[in-house]
Structure 1
């Protein structure tokens, strides 16, 4: 049995303000660094033998704080490009057009100049399959909430409309038995259950 440990980067100031980041290169906040450090001993118990990270700063910094500064950085693990919505506050988008926002969360609406869900899903799937084939037992993947939603969609057919936002500094686990994937953990964070995380 092989496993993918998927970690969403720790919180940024934009997360705290509920502002969509997309592929903007935002650094971790102090709270985000503390989240990563709190998760570090949990990750260590799983003893990843290889690590990958998004090349965006918030993910790479989280990976280093988890004890994997040597993680292979790849743009395939970047967050979905959100085009005109990058930098916009969620409350503002909901006030303008709640159906459009809910549609984006479900993978059915594409904001202007944004990366489409099917394109995003395909690049995430390729990154996940490369990671599972590259690891001996456990691969650590430090990435973004949208990447985790896309991985669950493509690997276990869990539609994004059925998934709550992934919490910053949280861990999810997918196991692979040689024929397919199954979800073993979702949205785990030490000491808390995050039900209202920012996108």
Structure 2
């Protein structure tokens, strides 16, 4: 997949976070809890879908949770593509953290939270390691990309933590640096492009279509 220059097929991966939920507004850790979109979240998905349709995606895959399935359905509606759902694209399972607000996590599990922010391998709330999330999600993305035509585009509809860890794995960053990628806003996306040296991060937390890089770093 990431071979020499002659093998590069110029494919792209768009990793799209779901729209707003009530728990997002409350800063409540969702994890694998199945929370629906708000009306605003659905409107965000519709707006973003109209933009992403202009990229003429070839395939859409999505987490099977309601917030991602509803987001993906908006892009399917404007492109005519089907959506393949896979539970491996779900958000990080975070055990007892799930359902707690950010302030409650800091109050009850402050040391664990601080260790995670330092880049240490932490099972937040007794749940998954970030590397385990990447190990289940990244292969699903890679298998889907392998089915694309040359120059094709895959849209992956998932969750903020899962997208960050998947990007980190695909572009070869050490796991303790994945947090440097930062979070994604609701219904924003990141874009990876295929190069002779592997996948390259072209856009991160974007809300408009990618523009060509015109400069010395191209």
Q: Structures share a fold, TM > 0.5?
A: yes
Q: 1:53 aligns with which of 45, 62, 65?
A: 62
2: distance between equivalents of 1:102 and 1:167? 22
The residue aligned with 2:166 is: 151
Where 1:51 maps in the other structure, the secondary structure is strand
Q: How does the TM-score come out when normalised to structure 1?
A: 0.88
Contact 2:14 2:190 in 1 (8 A): yes
Moved more, 90-99 or 126-135: 90-99
Q: How does the TM-score come out when normalised to structure 2?
A: 0.81
Moved more, 141-150 or 95-104: 95-104
Q: 2:46 aligns with which of 30, 37, 47?
A: 37
- Which string of whole-angstrom CA distances, capped at 9 and with x for unpartnered residues, describes residues 67-111 of structure 1? 357210001111111111111111111233434224335462212
The structure with the larger Rg is 2
The residue aligned with 1:131 is: 144
Unaligned runs of 5+ residues in structure 2 are 1-9, 209-218
**Alpha-carbon offset, residue 157 of structure 1:** 3.2
Unaligned runs of 5+ residues in structure 1 are 191-199
Contact 1:6 1:171 in 2 (8 A): yes
Cα distance change, pair 131–103 in 1 and its aligned pair in 2 (3 A): farther
**Equivalent pairs, count:** 190
**Which residues of 2 match residues 9-158 of structure 1 at below 5 A?**
9-67=18-76, 70-105=82-117, 106=119, 108-136=121-149, 137-158=152-173
